[in-house]
Amino acid sequence: MAEQFDVKLVEEAKYYTPLPEYREKAWVKDYDEEYSEFLKDPEAFWGKIAKELDWFGPWDKVLDWKYPYAKWFVNGKLNITYNCLDRHVFNHRRNKVAIIWRGENGEERIFTYQMLYRQVNRFANGLKRLGIVKGDRVCIYMPMIPEQLIAMLACARIGAVHSVVFGGFGVTALNYRINDTESKVVITADIGFRRGKTIPLKTLVEEAIINAPSVERVVVLRRKEPKVEIHSGIEIDFYDLMEGVEPVCKPEVMDAEDPLFILYTSGSTGAPKGVIHTCGGYMVGTYYTSKVIFDLKEEDVYWCTADVGWVTGHSYLLYGPLAVGATIFFGEAVPDYPDAGNFWRLIQDMGITIFYTAPTAIRMFMKVGEQWPDKYDLSSLRILGSVGEPLNPEAFEWYYRVIGKDRCPIVDTWWQTETGMQMITTFVGEKMRPGFAGKGIPGVIPDVVDKHGKPVKTGTLGFLIIKNPWPAMFRTIYKNDERYRKYWETIPNVYTVGDLAVKGKDGYIMILGRADDIIIVAGHNIGTAEVESALVSHQSVAEAAVIGKPDALKGNLIKAFVILKLGEKPSDKHKLDLKYHVRMTLGPIAQPDDIEFVDKLPKTRSGKIMRRVLKAKELGIDPGDISTLED
């Protein structure tokens, strides 16, 4: 480490200054002032924000920090759905549009806060009818449709812990998540649509629950006509479950520290990690960041393109914006189907004012050309956002010029499944620097350090850390607290993020990518260990090692090195079979782009595969060089 980064790039990058009106009209007019207020008294700072929300009972203490365990809003009582729904239903937002949804086939559905409230209440009572009580885990494996959000909110209403599984995951990934959480109920749909293809979700669930003893019932939303048959006894129709129940379901009184949801993320070793988020701190953190980072106002139409199955969908499609009382657009929309104008057409048709997407999508748009966005009226846009991987300067400039027409600030937000909320960005009134996410938001103290925790000089590559607890932080890893502690013990007393970063003289932070064996492919977090174990589960594979290979479009591609079992001869058929096998076990996002058959793999004396040697070979560089980049 401690290697000088490209200082020229770090110190000569140009700034973009937002129009003065952004600062004048923003919720937070002066970032520095807000940050100083936080530093002066962190607990008072968060307490004041929390008081903007509705609580059933007050907290005794804002923060109880016993390293590495935090409790926020100690003994405070609340229900997040009361803040996302009831509050608005009883104020001027009663008839405000909460959700506008567009299906891939052009179908449109609109829910006011009152309508959403009604559906959530009834579905919550339906879940109770199935015997679901506070603390039970419910797995949600659905396409991007309003019922997915209704199911999540209904769980939160009765205190059940939802575990949403991305609809693109395969059977093995789904089965693992159902079993690890011991979910009693799985909520799914017959099909999902993606790029004109149908995904047979219900069939995948049928396979995934063969070895899942905890599952008592499967709730099925039937979209297809004529309706698919359901197996009485175990399966029940989504809307039948809502028949004949009481129209109102009293929100369960939750302790601030009760779990709200479990969401799995890839680890650098072993099985995926079930990240636990709790009710109070998560609500406060996502509410505050949604409000001030997107500068969400009453008239905005906000669109987050992330899938609900990822943390961005949880925090910034659902909970945060609804807590603020925003109008949310979402849909079964992909950037390039039916054509590369899809996003821009939707922005025009829906009058989107705030647009939050991923760098991969932006780079794809750069490649297909400006003629696509140029066909549409994008003048409703006010603020642009980016998340999931580094927004490289070229992509920033394109996004700013072609989509934002040189007038919309871009918030490049750095955060993680574990952090629950956005942590580093540039506020809408502040000058932006392409390539740099920005500074810690008020409430967060990041730094860039060496492996001993010593801050590195500006312009020098180091590890990104967070020095203080924050409300939406994860509380543990489900059934594996040791893995939680590791984040805080790798460098004592601070949270080690796992990313490499560089800090400029101005304090802006550039995030460069992972420092470990996690590969970020098109913004999706994939563990080398998961792909390797999927490969090894194939009958003809003896050993496998997986690396990320830099790619201009997707950030990284997955490359696998495979040793076949004795007697197996490498062939193109094997390559196809293995790709298909990983696709079926983990899902399309984890499918290797390239497979190379080898006779042996570089290993340490203790038998650990040295992926960095493979990577160096792949990139044609000296493995010594790369060791400074990888821990």
Interface with ligand PRX, residue 448, by CB under 6 A: no
The answer to whether the CB of 603 falls within 8 A of the CB of 595 is no
Near ligand PRX by CB under 6 A: residue from 140, 236, 311, 616:
311
Please identify which residue in the block is written with the tokens 């999902």. 192
- Minimum distance from residue 308 beta carbon to ligand PRX (Å): 13
Query: What ranges in 567-620 are assigned the alpha helix state H?
Result: 572-585, 611-619
Q: Which of residues 414-433 bind ligand PRX (CB under 6 A)?
A: 414-417
Amino acid letter, 214: S
d(CA 517, CA 513): 11
Return phi, psi of residue 518, to 5°: -100, 135
By beta-carbon proximity to ligand PRX, the closer residue of 254 and 328 is 328
Q: Which is nearer to ligand PRX, 73 or 474 (CB)?
A: 474
Among 167, 388, 409, 443, binds ligand PRX (CB under 6 A): 388
Rg (CA), the chain: 24
Give the shortest CB-507-to-ligand PRX separation in angstroms: 16
Tell which one of 93, 137, 503, 514 touches ligand PRX (CB under 6 A). 514
Give me the sign of the Cα torsion angle 304, 308, 311, 315: positive
When binding is defined by CB under 6 A, the residue of 412, 447, 530, 532 that contacts ligand PRX is 412
Identify which range of 130-138, 190-198, 243-251, 413-421 contacts ligand PRX by CB under 6 A. 413-421
Name which of 174, 183, 189 is nearest 230 in CA terms.
189
Regarding 413 and contact with ligand PRX (CB under 6 A), the answer is yes
Size of the site for ligand PRX (CB under 6 A): 22
Using CB under 6 A, which residues numbered 64 to 103 contact ligand PRX?
none
Instruction: List the interface residues with ligand PRX, window 451-510 (CB under 6 A).
Output: 497-499
Residue 390 CB, nearest distance to ligand PRX (Å)? Answer: 4
Structure tokens at 493: 């007393």
Taking a C-beta distance cutoff of 8 angstroms, is the pair 444, 466 a contact?
yes
Which residues, numbered 521-560, are part of the site for ligand PRX (CB under 6 A)?
525
- CA-closest candidate to residue 190, choices 231, 155, 133, 150: 231
Shortest approach of ligand PRX to residue 316 CB, angstroms?
9
CB of 426 to ligand PRX, least distance (A): 11
Which span sits near ligand PRX by CB under 6 A: 72-80, 227-235, 381-389, 593-601?
Answer: 381-389
Q: Is residue 390 within the footprint of ligand PRX (CB under 6 A)?
A: yes
Within its chain, how far is the Cα of 198 from the centroid? Answer: 24
Q: Which residue is nearest to ligand PRX (CB)?
A: 417
Tell me whether residue 170 or residue 498 sits nearer to ligand PRX (CB atom). 498
Q: Give the whole-angstrom CA distance, residue 630 versus residue 231.
A: 51
* 217-220: long-range contacts, CB 8 A cutoff, minimum separation 24: 217/130, 217/184, 217/185, 217/186, 218/185, 218/186, 218/187, 218/188, 219/126, 219/130, 219/151, 219/185, 219/186, 219/187, 219/188, 220/188, 220/189, 220/190
3-state secondary structure of 189: strand
Amino acid symbol at 40: K
| C-beta of 209 vs 408, nearer to ligand PRX | 408
Q: Which is nearer to ligand PRX, 459 or 523 (CB)?
A: 523
Candidates 406-414, 451-459, 473-481, 594-602 — which segment interacts with ligand PRX by CB under 6 A?
406-414
- Angle, helices 572-585 vs 171-181, to 10°: value is 30
d(CA 488, CA 551): 31
The nearer residue to ligand PRX, 372 or 414, going by C-beta atoms, is 414
Toward ligand PRX, which CB reaches closer, 185 or 510?
A: 510
Q: Which is nearer to ligand PRX, 202 or 439 (CB)?
A: 439
437 binds ligand PRX (CB under 6 A): yes
Q: Quote the least distance from Cβ 497 to ligand PRX, whole Å.
A: 6
Point out which residues bind ligand PRX (CB under 6 A): 265, 311-312, 387-390, 412-417, 437, 497-499, 511, 513-514, 520, 525
